[in-house]
């Protein structure tokens, strides 16, 4: 974790495994993430106060991109079982009742639950390698609608604005991605960055800021922060190891 001003960098995990896709619990007391410490990627929960680690899923497939429902009772995630496409799954926050919610026409790489609890957005391939389109479904898995229109080269991350009206994505030609805001109702989009090869934009809880990663510093992946309209872009981290997939504490 790191403070918003770039101070206080602290390492949270230290294990012989790959640990990806952090997601805070709604109360900020714990961190959910995907790890392959026992073979396939499963979900684990780190309790900050007690420094305890709990396994949430067990051998359900290969899990990525978890996100909590606003009430904290359910986790949505993308999951690949065997040789099938990566699909949308849910599990109770205590790890009970893992279940398939939706299998799309192609692989799904990112899911995000809207802050009002009503919708789930996801990024799904439509045939072009490493490019995706953005879809929205009801939280019960019904009424799928494609909202991205005319935005080329969309990458594999999504985040909702706190008012559930907009989505953050990154898109563009290979090696020159930028952060875009998409209107969840109309599909209209606004470009927020211009150059630097950027990805993984995430809104602050109050919607005033966006944190993202960028390769603008000599192709070194670092975290940056900017205003929600794209102004005042400031570097937060600076070291050779790549920083990506940021998430704000509640």
pLDDT digits (tens, 9 = 90+) for 165-184: 999 999 999 999 999 999 99
52 or 198: which leads in pLDDT: 198
> Checking phi first, is residue 61 left (phi over 0); if not, alpha (psi -120 to 50) or beta?
left
Q: In the chain, where do the E strands start and end? A: 19-24, 30-35, 42-47, 52-55, 62-68, 74-80, 87-92, 99-102, 108-113, 119-125, 132-138, 145-146, 159-160, 166-171, 178-183, 189-191, 198-203, 209-217, 220-227, 234-235
Query: Residue 160's Cα: distance from chain center in Å?
Result: 10
Asked if the model's pLDDT at residue 18 lies above 90, the reply is yes
Mean pLDDT, rounded, for 42-71: 93
Report the pLDDT value the prediction gives residue 6, as an integer from 0 to 100. Answer: 87
Which whole number is the average pLDDT over 196-210?
A: 96
Q: What's the pLDDT score for residue 51? A: 80
Percent of the chain with pLDDT over 70: 100
Q: pLDDT tens digits for 136-163? A: 999 999 999 999 988 999 999 999 999 9
Does 99 score more than 90 pLDDT?
yes
Listed in sequence order, the residues at least 6 apart from 167 whose beta carbon sits closer than 8 Å to its beta carbon are 112, 121, 134, 147, 158, 159, 160, 161, 181, 182, 184
Nearest to 235 by CA among 206, 215, 208, 249: 215
- Residue 113's pLDDT band, with cuts at 50, 70 and 90, is very high
Mean pLDDT of the chain: 94
DSSP state of 49: T
Rounded distance between C-alpha atoms, residue 70 and residue 73, angstroms: 8
Q: Sorting pLDDT into bands at 50, 70 and 90, what band is 128?
A: confident
Confidence (pLDDT) at 235: 94
pLDDT at 36 over 90: yes
pLDDT of residue 137: 97
- Residue 22, token pair as written in the block: 């952090």
Position 244 scores a pLDDT of 86
Q: Where are the domains of the chain?
A: 19-235
CATH of domain 19-235: 2.120.10.30
**Taking 90 as the threshold, does the pLDDT of residue 240 lie above it?**
no
Q: Quick one: average pLDDT of 7-16?
A: 88
215's tokens: 């390769």
**pLDDT in the model for residue 52:** 87
């Amino acid at each position: 974790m790191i403070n918003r001003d770039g101070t206080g960098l602290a390492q949270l995990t230290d294990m012989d495994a790959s640990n990806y896709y952090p997601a805070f619990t709604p109360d900020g007391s714990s961190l959910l993430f995907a790890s392959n410490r026992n073979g396939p990627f499963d979900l684990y929960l780190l309790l900050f106060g007690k420094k305890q680690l709990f396994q949430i899923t067990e051998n359900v497939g290969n899990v990525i991109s978890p996100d909590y429902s606003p009430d904290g009772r359910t986790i949505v995630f993308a999951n690949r079982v065997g040789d099938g496409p990566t699909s949308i799954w849910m599990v109770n926050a205590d790890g009970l009742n893992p279940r398939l919610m939706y299998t799309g026409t192609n692989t799904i790489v990112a899911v995000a639950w809207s802050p009002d609890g009503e919708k789930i957005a996801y990024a799904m391939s439509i045939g072009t390698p490493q490019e995706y389109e953005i879809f929205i479904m009801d939280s019960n898995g019904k009424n799928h609608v494609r909202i991205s229109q005319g935005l080329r080269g969309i990458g594999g991350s999504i985040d909702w604005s706190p008012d559930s009206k907009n989505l953050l994505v990154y898109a563009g030609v290979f090696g020159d991605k930028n952060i875009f805001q998409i209107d969840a109702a109309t599909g209209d989009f606004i470009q927020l960055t211009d150059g630097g090869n950027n990805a993984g934009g995430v809104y602050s809880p109050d919607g005033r800021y966006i944190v993202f990663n960028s390769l603008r510093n000599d192709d070194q992946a670092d975290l940056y922060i900017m205003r929600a309209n794209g102004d005042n872009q400031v570097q937060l981290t600076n070291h050779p190891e790549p920083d990506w997939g940021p998430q704000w504490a509640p």
